[in-house]
Amino acid sequence: MSESDRGYYPFIDGLRAVAVLSVILFHYNFLHVSGGYVGVDVFFVLSGFLITGIIEAKLRRGILSFAEFYERRCRRIIPALFITGAICTMAAIVLLVPQDFREFSKSLKGAAFFYSNVVFADSAGYFAAPAATKPLLHTWSLAVEEQFYLIFPPVLYAAHKAAGGNRAFICFAVGIICAASFALSLVLMQVDSDDAFYLLPPRAWELLLGSLTALVLARIRLPRAAAEVLAVLAALGLGLSFAYYDRSTPFPGLAAALPCISTALLIWTNVSSSTFIGRCLSARPLVAVGLISYGLYLYHWPVLAFSRYFFDRELSVSAVVVALAATFSISALSYRLVELPIRAGAWMPGRKTVFNRSAIGLLSIGAIGIIGVNAGGLPSRFSSPALQYASGAHDTWDWNRCMPAPDQLNDRTICRIGALGTLAPSFLLWGDSHAAALEPAVDARAKAFNMPGWYVGYSRCPALIGAAPIRHTPDDHPCLRIADTVFDLVRRNGIKHVLLASRWDSYIDGWDPRGNETKQDLTISFDTVDGRLKGAEAFRFALRETLNRFRSLGVEVWIVEQVPPQLIDVPSALTKAIAFGRDPLLLRRPFEDVEERRHAAATLFGEYVGSPGVFFIDPAEIFCPNKTPCLISESGHALYSDGNHLSVFGALWSQFMLDPFFKSLPAATGKPTETR
């Protein structure tokens, strides 16, 4: 039923308020609403319910007009979206460094043409830019809804015509599509969780659940007592989702069923009866928030993202309060001065005017996005010293060429470093992306000592035998197979010196919660006869296994400890410091803070200090000289390409820390450069 058929239900706006407040509190890390992201799923179910009710009622009366339907969508959605895009563009021009502005421009183009969910699905992953550099990240859900609005109404119309208005057939068809979408979501969660999260096909079932609520449940009247009980259970289900889900919960998939079903039940029970929960949701303060919920959703994330980006840290409580006040003020003004007048027809009274101006507005911000991408992020906005720091983000080498398919890793495909020729390798460098970032330093010192070597490095795979991250993504490498292959290569080729380098801290403790980066969980597991170990215990057993197996071959093992991890994206932060007149020295992370983060790995490594055949190299000795705040730049260049990987410049600058390793190798015939 359309809203005009059944009257206005204030609890709908109350549900909108709950949804948007949960999302805001989650994003702002406020009041510990760890599962607040499910508010988006509440919106999806509500949208499916409302849109289906409107369309189906008009179909029954034979008065459905697609032109009218899309005119209403334009009036409802595009004005605030245009304001968001325009404000974000102005802020981005002032604040974002070139590489970040270029990424912003991609998302601006995606938001303008309603495919930003595809943009973010493609850009997600291990090396994706941190969320703080994506002020339009939240528009992915708007894109999902708009794609649904473009596809579902014609499908519903076609089903109605094909079935001659037979309601049972229509409900059955929608139910089949809903079930297929849910099944796809479950499959994609195992294959490609980013696609499962961002794309319409695996998300459509949530909107279609709302559609089924409108088509089926809303027509079944519940006894009052049953409605009260179901409403309470639904509210509890939604509350549990908010309170107990968190960033580590596999989502959407099966976990999304609880908040979605709970929302559908809340709609059904309160359309059927006036329940206690419905009356609570109908409270005036909640309804008032619900009325401006669209603006709140659109504006809250850019305010937060740009604030975090400018300050390069999480906001203080007082800053959060100011940001929230600004968000509510902007949303209220937008609702009163722009959204309401346009929806009421006071502005843009004609349908043709609505379509024309909507197209012009979206094309204009889309064009800015295209220009930003093609112009490389408009680097002319920054000075030469700032751009030199910014270039650190691209100061990497193509280590993908040294990552053959794991089943093809062998003596012929392995990367050779150091002195070239036909000599057998004197050493092997093994690790993850941190080993890859260190490779230019190892290669340079190996050449200086005239030593041939091999290199094996696969992202997200620690240099540990028997260990692999618990959570996998589609582009993860089979770490256990790689480790076994490396061991076999060392054994068969008589290599007696191995250099291990990895991001050890993340395999023990996951991501640093204070850091500013992607949140993929790299915590490892290790299987024993007594069961599966995780985290620190898995690391202890895997380290023991690795050292014992190598030492059984008479191999000396050298471990490069964690490069001092940063809480900032170093090239970006240094660029902003120069651009905004801040002191770059204030960006250096205190040594004590670095040691606290590295403590777990250092403790486990400490068990082998002085053990025969095991040696350590600590990069902190040169990055944090005399235990001072750790260096992130030198001679106007960033030492990191992000917050934890060394740039090529940083690797070459720090190469001399590897001299103890190379001096230990037999028959070193080179004449190395003087050490630092």
Above 90 in pLDDT, residue 288? yes
Above 80 in pLDDT, residue 204? yes
Mean pLDDT for 497-522 is: 82
* Gyration radius of the chain's alpha carbons: 29
> Is-contact 258 45, C-beta < 8 A?
no
pLDDT at 165: 83
Q: What would the 3-class secondary structure string for 89-141 be?
A: HHHHHHHCCHHHHHHHHHHHHHHHCCCHHHHHHHHCCCCCCCHHHCCCCCHHH
Give the chain's mean pLDDT: 91
The closest alpha carbon to 121, from 196, 52, 65, 54, belongs to 196
> Is-contact 331 295, C-beta < 8 A?
yes
* Structural tokens at position 289: 């928030």
Structurally, at CATH architecture level, domain 395-561+584-629+655-664 sits in: 3-Layer(aba) Sandwich (3.40)
pLDDT at 124: 66
> Is-contact 104 96, C-beta < 8 A?
yes
Mean pLDDT for 295-324 is: 92
Q: What would the 3-class secondary structure string for 489-528 be?
A: HHHHCCCCEEEEECCHHHHHHCCCCCCCCCCCCCCEEEEE
Mean pLDDT for 25-41 is: 90
Please name every residue paired with 525 in a beta bridge, in sequence order, or none if there are none. 468, 534
* Percent of the chain residues past pLDDT 90, beyond the cut: 79
pLDDT at 634: 96
> Is-contact 266 231, C-beta < 8 A?
yes
Q: How many CB atoms lie within 10 A of CB 66?
A: 11
Mean pLDDT for 5-18 is: 85
Above 50 in pLDDT, residue 671? no
pLDDT at 3: 41
Band (132; pLDDT cuts 50, 70, 90): low
Above 80 in pLDDT, residue 156? yes
3-state SS assignment for residue 205: helix
pLDDT at 1: 39
- The DSSP code for 221 is P
Which residues 6+ apart lie within 8 Å of 475 measured at CB? 125, 126
Mean pLDDT for 342-359 is: 90
Above 90 in pLDDT, residue 260? yes
Mean pLDDT for 166-181 is: 94
Above 80 in pLDDT, residue 305? yes
∠ CA 35-286-272, rounded to 5°: 90
pLDDT tens-place string over residues 391-425: 999 999 998 899 999 999 999 999 999 988 767 89
pLDDT at 669: 46
> Start-end ranges of CATH 3.40.50 in the chain?
395-561+584-629+655-664
The closest alpha carbon to 613, from 670, 557, 669, 536, belongs to 557
pLDDT tens-place string over residues 352-363: 999 999 999 999
pLDDT tens-place string over residues 603-648: 999 999 999 999 999 999 999 999 999 999 999 999 999 999 999 9
Above 70 in pLDDT, residue 675? no
3-state SS assignment for residue 346: coil
Mean pLDDT for 479-484 is: 94
